[in-house]
A and B are shown apart, each in its own frame.
Chain A
């Protein structure tokens, strides 16, 4: 149980295009999902908190107009990188917290590697 998937696993796109990444909780509902970014040989940095049915909360320094988050259902959150540039190339990982869980554990997706040419 507690499986989180991401799609796609990797994507290569041209500079200026937009890329959508999906995060799904497969066997549980998640009111809250999180998006992290990881640059090569670095740690994960929280980008934003995705809340079902409401606006996402962005961390300081993360442009909300560039990283659009939609959490339209209890099992799906999407991250759209708009007008991507080479500096947006990174590993994007989502996590999901089971609704009603009092446990702090978050279940992580396998990540999406974005390369912007």
Chain B
């Protein structure tokens, strides 16, 4: 199974700054998703980008996908303290398949 890799592993920025996280994967995909996990909690789905899309926006989130490089990035603009969480990319999930998650980026927004 494929395994996504995120970088950085951890990121600490000041409130108001933009945060960028990257994800790489190994095999071909139909889509890629990003999730957020607050400490000790379940996952919140943020955004899905299909393999034929290059960029997608949702509020303060911007996701890009480069299938030639097998990589994706998540940009959070104008960060807030409430954005402090771990962020995971995930691939798979088609049909009856479960998701394969990347290792995650732990984002800390300092007020």
Contact = CB atoms under 8 A, between A and B. Distances in A.
Q: Which of the four size classes fits the interface of chain B?
A: 20 to 34
B96 A105 contact: no
Interface in A86-113: 91, 93, 95, 97, 103-111, 113
Contacts, number: 66
Interface stretch (A11-19, A43-51, A71-79): A43-51
Nearest to B97: A49
The SS class assigned to the B binding surface is: loop
Interface residues of A, number: 28
Contacts of B31: 104
A51 B97 CA distance: 11
Given A42-B103, A43-B104, A46-B100, A108 B48 contact: no
A89 to B, nearest CB: 14
A34 B88 contact: no
A28 interface: no
B99 interface: yes
Nearest to A51: B96
29 contacts: A4-B42, A6-B42, A32-B96, A42-B103, A43-B88, A43-B102, A43-B103, A44-B88, A46-B98, A49-B97, A49-B98, A51-B96, A59-B98, A91-B40, A93-B43, A104-B30, A104-B31, A104-B33, A104-B48, A104-B93, A104-B94, A105-B93, A108-B35, A108-B43, A108-B44, A109-B42, A110-B41, A110-B42, A111-B42
The SS class assigned to the A binding surface is: strand
Contacts of B104: 43
B61 to A, nearest CB: 15
B56 interface: no
Interface in B1-59: 1, 30-31, 33, 35, 40-45, 48
Which of A34, A59, A91, A104 has most chain B Cβ within 10 Å? A104
Contacts of A103: 48
B40 A113 contact: yes
